[in-house]
Homo-oligomer: A and B are copies of this chain.
Amino acid sequence: MEWFNEQLDESIFDLGARISIKVGKKIFEGQSDFQKLEIYETPKFGNLMVLDGAVMLTEANEAAYHEMISHVPLFAHPNPERVLIIGGGDGGAAREVLRHPGVKECVMVEIDGLVVEKSREYFPTIASELDNPRLTLLIADGVKYIEENQSAFDVILVDSTDPVGPAEGLFSKAFYEKCFASLKEDGILAAQAESPYYFRKTQKELFEVLKSVFPYSTLYLSAIPFYPSGTWSFAFASKKYKQNEQVRTEAMEKMRPELRYFNPEVFYGCFALPTFMREVL
Contact = CB atoms under 8 A, between A and B. Distances in A.
A273 B19 CA distance: 24
A5 B20 contact: yes
Contacts of A21: 16-17
19 contacts: A16-B45, A17-B21, A17-B225, A17-B226, A18-B20, A64-B274, A196-B223, A221-B223, A223-B231, A229-B230, A256-B275, A259-B275, A260-B274, A260-B275, A262-B274, A263-B274, A266-B273, A266-B275, A270-B272
Query: How often does this chain occur in the complex, in copies?
Result: 2
Interface string A7-25: 0000000011111111000
A216 interface: no
A28 interface: no
Interface residues of A, number: 45
A241 interface: no
A172 to B, nearest CB: 28
Interface of A: 3, 5, 15-22, 42-45, 61, 63-64, 196-197, 221, 223-226, 228-231, 256, 259-263, 265-266, 268-276
A274 B61 CA distance: 12
Tell me the dominant secondary structure on chain A's binding face: loop
A265 B261 contact: no
A234 to B, nearest CB: 14
Contacts of A271: 265, 269
Contact of A231 (B20, B196, B231): B231
Nearest to A258: B275
Contacts of A20: 5, 17-20
A45 B14 CA distance: 12
Nearest to A63: B276
A224 B268 CA distance: 21
Most buried by B among A224, A231, A265, A275: A275
